[in-house]
């Protein structure tokens, strides 16, 4: 009992003197007011209480007298049956060992509620030294238990979150060692389980981060801000593969502010990064060829300029435009056009060094950026190689195609100081190359701006040429070699452009083709030639067959047959008086479709001639299959027919080939008597050229027809069959 007696202070107060200390009363006060129950019980089967303090009522709901000596209920009864055995065992083993015991269990109160209690007690021996009682204290710990339970539940919940999270969760030391990791993190980094990850990753900065400086940056942010957010880095997985991760983490500090560890989450963002990269690639690259597109091209030029400034080099911007691409694309179809562009992209890429760039600017335009150039000769060497590489024949679907391109070059710093200026100059130079006959290159000079603006002006004026009635059809006679008779004429387009005079077709047909204006213009030529021919016939002039040139773009256009039959019907002209000329190079491609189209024209009754024969890359076997009536030998073979044995041999071969296929052969560009005599000698059927007449305006052609009608027909035996035409030369253009 001594231990219960408080020590008295040496100095006492006035109050102490007034009321002497009554220890028994003090203890009773304490005992009665304790939250909990002080007890003494027997060590029997039902823990018979001999004494319980006032706290009993609050603890159990029973009054002390109801519990003492089991008056109403025994303590064993109020102990929850499930806990009784455990409680008994715990107490008895402590008593046996002579120790105090602590035991937690549940009781059922008088009101039926179950409460958790903590009992703490010690055994007491009787006068014979036998263990007879227990004295102790029982307190309600339900609230603490509930709080504990809630804590346990929270821990379980957080553990489950940690275990099952799809995000990786980690705790690491600032030095880079793992303290804890969840299964998701192990999975992200390719480890069997967190333990394997923790065992393997001993040095995060070198084993995990592809760039160790990212870890340094992570630690720096942690030190300065205590957190990192959406921190993206590349990381090695266990198998060495590389992934992208995004981390959110914070530094956890002890109360003294010292960093204990880092904790945070990791997500694998590889897919998103790949998607972003794909989108970025898409936005900056051409989908067909995979080459950089317009916007990336500008970046590349910018970068090249920065570097050239520093190293005192040149940058060359080389504009490459395929010749006649629109024709190929329109006449052979987009699938062939696409394959051709891919081929060209590959060829161009093969011409440059790794630090140069090849980009597709759009359509059939490619741009090469040459860096680290010392002088123009170096640029020129590449341009020459490029022209040669592109001009190699291209084989597609068993068909061989001739390719060529026109190239314009501008150089930094001479021609411009930014991408736009350099591209504009290279473009202008490219147009100059095209105008100089294609398949060539041109370097930019300031005078070129003039050329470009003229071309644009021409294009604009051409748009109005039809409605302003500025187009004319000239007629060039075609002569039968054997008889010297005028048997036909070729309708040749001219443009009477105000302020520019008569413009020849070579200067504007390609613009008309590129802009699509060739469709209405070509239809107008057809109608005009048919109308004129019919008018001459109605005026009683000898009937002739007029041939009209058809652009491949018209040929591909679905409405050609209808347009031809419409022109014939409108003019009231027999179909036998109309012939259509198709250029060889395009006749021979896409044979099946062209055959179908030709057949539909043949059904109308018109003749078909292959123009400029010998210049294209045709497969002769198609000639047999196509419903063709005439071959027109290109004038380039005729020009030197009398002096160049090769040309002579070619022309002889074409004549005999044509005849063996049952076709008539026409020679173009007959300028001299010697040409005519050669053709006469080798059995060419018809001829056309300045020797007889230049293309004539309709009135002159009519006069010629009239004079011939008066003269009657020349005979084949006439030693000078072409003489009547000589007089016409003065009247022609
Ligand atoms: P093409 O169909 O081969 O026409 C023959 C060209 O040779 C004509 O040039 C003609 O004037 C020229 N020529 C005729 N005889 C001689 C000669 O003895 N010596 C020389 N050096 N040349 C001669 P033109 O009229 O300038 O026409 C050029 C080309 O323009 C034509 O070549 C044809 O492909 C095209 N073309 C003309 N009119 C039309 C048209 O209405 N539609 C289409 N799509 N193309 C046309
Ligand atoms: Mg022609
Ligand atoms: Mg021709």
- Nearest atom, ligand 1, residue 612 CA: 3
Q: Which domain holds residue 299?
A: 288-446
- 641: closest CA among 623, 630, 653, 629? 653
Nearest CA residue ID for atom 23, ligand 1 = 669
Cα of 549 vs centre of ligand 3, distance in Å, is 9
Q: What is the pLDDT of residue 2?
A: 41
Which protein residues have a CB closer than 5 Å to ligand 2 (ion)?
Answer: 549, 581, 611
- 678: closest CA among 693, 690, 490, 687? 687
Q: What is the pLDDT of residue 553?
A: 84
Measured CA to CA, the distance from residue 542 to residue 455 in angstroms comes to 42
Nearest CA residue ID for atom 3, ligand 1 = 612
Cα of 668 vs centre of ligand 1, distance in Å, is 9
**Residue 100 belongs to some domain of the structure:** yes
Cα of 471 vs centre of ligand 1, distance in Å, is 15
Cα angle 388, 393, 396 (rounded to 5 degrees) comes to 140
CB distance 324 to ligand 1 below 6 Å: no
Q: How far are the Cα atoms of 185, 244, 641 from residue 267, in angstroms, in the given order?
A: 8, 9, 80
| CB neighbour list of residue 571: distance below 8 Å, 6 or more residues apart | 527, 530, 531, 533, 534
Does residue 669 surpass a pLDDT of 70?
yes
Contacts 24+ apart (CB under 8 A), 468-473: 470/495, 470/496, 470/497, 470/498, 471/495, 471/496, 471/521, 471/524, 471/525, 471/528, 472/496, 472/502, 472/697, 472/698, 473/525, 473/528, 473/529, 473/532, 473/698
What share of the chain has pLDDT > 90, as a percent? 69
CB distance 492 to ligand 1 below 6 Å: yes
Share the mean pLDDT of the chain: 89
CB distance 695 to ligand 1 below 6 Å: yes
Measured CA to CA, the distance from residue 83 to residue 106 in angstroms comes to 7
| CB neighbour list of residue 699: distance below 8 Å, 6 or more residues apart | none
Where among 240, 274, 308 does a domain terminate? Answer: 274
Q: What is the pLDDT of residue 213?
A: 92
Q: Let me know whether 391 and 270 are in one domain.
A: no
Region label for 464, one of left (φ > 0), alpha (ψ between -120 and 50) or beta (otherwise): alpha
**Residue 242 belongs to some domain of the structure:** yes
Q: What is the pLDDT of residue 450?
A: 77
Q: What is the 3-state secondary structure (H, E, C) of 466-491?
A: CCCCCEEEEEEEEEECCCCCEEEEEE
Measured CA to CA, the distance from residue 446 to residue 459 in angstroms comes to 21
pLDDT band at 723 (very low <50, low <70, confident <90, very high): very low
The predicted model gives 5-13 an average pLDDT of 49
Cα of 632 vs centre of ligand 3, distance in Å, is 7
- pLDDT tens, position by position, 473-521: 999 999 999 999 999 999 999 999 998 899 999 989 988 988 889 999 9
- pLDDT tens, position by position, 68-83: 999 999 999 999 999 9
Cα of 349 vs centre of ligand 2, distance in Å, is 38
- pLDDT tens, position by position, 18-58: 677 889 999 888 888 889 999 999 999 999 999 999 999 99
pLDDT band at 339 (very low <50, low <70, confident <90, very high): very high
- Nearest atom, ligand 1, residue 581 CA: 2
Cα of 447 vs centre of ligand 1, distance in Å, is 30
pLDDT band at 618 (very low <50, low <70, confident <90, very high): low
Q: How far are the Cα atoms of 122, 185, 208, 232, 507 from residue 247, in angstroms, in the given order?
A: 56, 11, 13, 6, 65
CB distance 522 to ligand 1 below 6 Å: yes
- pLDDT tens, position by position, 197-247: 999 988 888 889 999 999 999 999 999 999 999 999 999 999 999 999 999
The predicted model gives 451-477 an average pLDDT of 89
Nearest CA residue ID for atom 30, ligand 1 = 505
Where among 386, 416, 446 does a domain terminate? Answer: 446
Domain containing residue 551: CATH number: 3.20.20.450
Q: Let me know whether 612 and 684 are in one domain.
A: yes
Does residue 5 surpass a pLDDT of 60?
no
Q: What is the pLDDT of residue 18?
A: 63
Q: Let me know whether 84 and 197 are in one domain.
A: no
Q: Give yes or no for a contact between 262 and 174, defined as CB atoms under 8 angstroms apart.
A: yes
Classify strands 178-181 and 227-236 as parallel, antiparallel or unpaired: unpaired
- 168: closest CA among 230, 247, 239, 236? 247
Where among 419, 446, 473 does a domain terminate? Answer: 446
**Residue 10 belongs to some domain of the structure:** no
Does residue 16 surpass a pLDDT of 90?
no
Instruction: Tell which one of 479, 491, 492 to mutate to probe ligand 1, the residue whose CB is within 8 A of the most ligand atoms.
Output: 492
Q: How far are the Cα atoms of 41, 128, 166, 725 from residue 51, in angstroms, in the given order?
A: 7, 21, 59, 152
- 498: closest CA among 475, 469, 524? 469
CB distance 671 to ligand 1 below 6 Å: yes
Nearest CA residue ID for atom 44, ligand 1 = 551
Of the CA atoms within 13 Å of residue 695, those in its CB half-sphere come to 16
Does residue 374 surpass a pLDDT of 50?
yes
Question: Both tokens of residue 528?
Answer: 């005009």
**Residue 478 belongs to some domain of the structure:** no
**Most confident of the ranges 26-30, 261-265, 276-280:** 261-265
Q: Let me know whether 268 and 358 are in one domain.
A: no
Q: What is the pLDDT of residue 724?
A: 43
What share of the chain has pLDDT > 70, as a percent? 92
**Most confident of the ranges 27-31, 180-184, 291-295:** 180-184
**Count of Cβ atoms closer than 10 Å to residue 106 Cβ:** 17
Cα of 492 vs centre of ligand 1, distance in Å, is 6
What does 494-532 look like in DSSP terms, one character per residue? Answer: EEEETTTEEEPGGGTHHHHHHHTTHHHHHHHHHHHHHHH
Q: What is the pLDDT of residue 713?
A: 40
Q: What is the pLDDT of residue 252?
A: 93
Q: Let me know whether 539 and 677 are in one domain.
A: yes
Q: Let me know whether 311 and 339 are in one domain.
A: yes
- Helix axis angle for 419-435 and 294-311, nearest 10°, is 110
CB distance 635 to ligand 1 below 6 Å: yes
Cα of 542 vs centre of ligand 2, distance in Å, is 22
Q: Let me know whether 294 and 213 are in one domain.
A: no
SS3 631: strand
Q: Let me know whether 129 and 181 are in one domain.
A: no
**Count of Cβ atoms closer than 10 Å to residue 24 Cβ:** 7
Q: Let me know whether 251 and 354 are in one domain.
A: no
Measured CA to CA, the distance from residue 76 to residue 83 in angstroms comes to 10
- 689: closest CA among 717, 666, 656, 664? 666
Measured CA to CA, the distance from residue 41 to residue 136 in angstroms comes to 9
Q: How many domains does the chain have?
A: 4
**Residue 473 belongs to some domain of the structure:** no
- pLDDT tens, position by position, 535-591: 999 999 999 999 999 998 888 787 899 999 999 999 999 999 999 998 876 655 667
Nearest CA residue ID for atom 37, ligand 1 = 492
- Nearest atom, ligand 1, residue 695 CA: 11
Q: Let me know whether 182 and 45 are in one domain.
A: no
**Residue 214 belongs to some domain of the structure:** yes
Q: Give yes or no for a contact between 299 and 293, defined as CB atoms under 8 angstroms apart.
A: no
Q: Give yes or no for a contact between 122 and 135, defined as CB atoms under 8 angstroms apart.
A: yes
Domain containing residue 197: CATH number: 3.30.450.20
Cα of 546 vs centre of ligand 2, distance in Å, is 11
**Residue 476 belongs to some domain of the structure:** no
Nearest CA residue ID for atom 19, ligand 1 = 669
Q: What is the pLDDT of residue 722?
A: 43
The predicted model gives 699-720 an average pLDDT of 68
**Residue 181 belongs to some domain of the structure:** yes
Does residue 332 surpass a pLDDT of 70?
yes
Q: Give yes or no for a contact between 165 and 186, defined as CB atoms under 8 angstroms apart.
A: no
Q: Structure pTM?
A: 0.56
Q: Let me know whether 24 and 56 are in one domain.
A: yes
271-308 burial: b if 16+ Cβ within 10 Å, else e: eebeeeeeeeeeeebbeebebbbbebbbebbeebbeeb
Domain containing residue 372: CATH number: 3.30.70.270
Q: Let me know whether 545 and 575 are in one domain.
A: yes
Nearest CA residue ID for atom 35, ligand 1 = 505
């Amino acid at each position: 009992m001594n231990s219960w007696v408080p020590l008295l202070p040496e100095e006492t107060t006035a109050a102490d003197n007034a009321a002497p200390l009554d220890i028994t009363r003090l203890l009773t006060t304490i005992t009665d007011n304790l939250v909990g129950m002080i007890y003494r019980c027997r060590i029997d089967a039902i823990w018979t209480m001999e004494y319980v303090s006032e706290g009993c009522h609050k603890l159990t709901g029973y009054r002390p007298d109801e519990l003492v000596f089991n008056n109403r209920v025994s303590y064993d009864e109020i102990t929850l049956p499930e806990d009784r055995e455990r409680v008994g065992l715990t107490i008895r083993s402590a008593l046996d060992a002579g120790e105090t015991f602590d035991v937690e269990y549940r009781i059922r109160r008088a009101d039926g509620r179950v409460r958790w209690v903590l009992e703490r007690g010690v055994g007491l021996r009787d006068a014979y030294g036998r263990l007879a009682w227990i004295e102790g204290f029982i307190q309600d710990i339900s609230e603490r238990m509930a709080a504990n339970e809630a804590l346990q539940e929270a821990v379980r919940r957080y553990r489950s979150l940690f275990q099952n999270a799809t995000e990786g969760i980690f705790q690491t030391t600032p030095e880079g060692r793992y303290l804890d990791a969840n299964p998701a993190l192990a999975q992200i980094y390719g480890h069997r389980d967190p333990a394997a990850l923790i065992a393997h990753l001993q040095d995060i900065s070198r084993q995990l981060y592809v760039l160790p400086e990212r870890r340094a940056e992570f630690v720096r942010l942690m030190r300065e801000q205590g957190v990192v957010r959406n921190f993206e880095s590349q990381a090695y997985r266990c198998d060495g593969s590389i992934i992208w991760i995004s981390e959110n983490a914070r530094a956890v500090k002890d109360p003294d502010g010292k960093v204990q560890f880092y904790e945070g989450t990791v997500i694998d963002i590889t897919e998103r990064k790949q998607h972003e990269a794909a989108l970025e690639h898409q936005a900056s690259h051409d989908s067909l060829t995979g080459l950089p597109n317009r916007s990336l091209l500008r970046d590349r030029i910018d970068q090249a300029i920065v570097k050239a400034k520093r190293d005192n080099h040149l940058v060359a911007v080389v504009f490459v435009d395929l010749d006649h691409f629109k024709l190929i694309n329109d006449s052979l179809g987009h699938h062939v056009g696409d394959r051709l562009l891919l081929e060209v992209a590959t060829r161009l890429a093969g011409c440059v060094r790794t630090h140069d760039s090849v980009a597709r600017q759009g359509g059939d335009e490619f741009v090469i950026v040459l860096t680290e150039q010392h002088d123009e000769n170096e640029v020129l060497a590449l341009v020459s190689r490029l022209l040669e590489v592109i001009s190699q024949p291209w084989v597609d679907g068993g068909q061989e195609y001739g390719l060529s391109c026109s190239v314009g070059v501008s150089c930094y710093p001479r021609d411009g100081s930014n991408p736009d200026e350099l591209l504009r100059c290279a473009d202008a130079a490219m147009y100059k190359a095209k105008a100089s006959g294609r398949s060539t290159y041109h370097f930019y000079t300031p005078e070129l701006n003039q050329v470009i603006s003229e071309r644009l002006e021409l294009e604009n004026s051409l748009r109005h040429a039809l409605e302003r009635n500025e187009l004319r059809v000239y007629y060039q006679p075609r002569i039968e070699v054997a008889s010297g008779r005028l048997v036909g004429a070729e309708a040749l387009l001219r443009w009477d452009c105000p302020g520019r005079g008569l413009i020849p077709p070579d200067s504007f047909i390609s613009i008309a083709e590129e802009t699509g204006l060739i469709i209405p213009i070509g239809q107008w030529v057809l109608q005009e030639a048919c109308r004129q021919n019919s008018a001459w016939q109605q005026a009683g002039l000898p009937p002739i067959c007029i041939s009209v040139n058809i652009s491949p773009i018209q040929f591909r256009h679905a409405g050609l047959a209808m347009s031809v039959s419409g022109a014939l019907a409108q003019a009231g002209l027999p179909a036998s008086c109309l012939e259509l000329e198709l250029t060889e190079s395009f006749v021979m491609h896409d044979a099946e479709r062209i055959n179908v189209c030709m057949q539909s024209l043949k059904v109308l009754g018109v003749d078909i001639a292959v123009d400029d024969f010998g210049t294209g890359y045709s497969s002769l076997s198609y000639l047999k299959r196509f419903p063709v009536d005439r071959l027109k030998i290109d004038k380039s073979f005729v020009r030197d027919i009398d002096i160049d044995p090769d040309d002579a041999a070619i022309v002889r071969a074409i004549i005999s080939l044509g005849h063996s296929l049952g076709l008539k052969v026409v020679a173009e560009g007959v300028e001299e008597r010697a040409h005519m005599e050669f053709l006469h000698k080798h059995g060419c059927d018809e001829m056309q050229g300045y020797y007889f007449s230049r293309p004539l305006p309709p009135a002159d052609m009519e006069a010629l027809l009239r004079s011939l009608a008066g003269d009657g027909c020349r005979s084949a035996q006439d030693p000078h069959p072409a003489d009547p035409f000589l007089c016409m030369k003065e009247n022609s253009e």
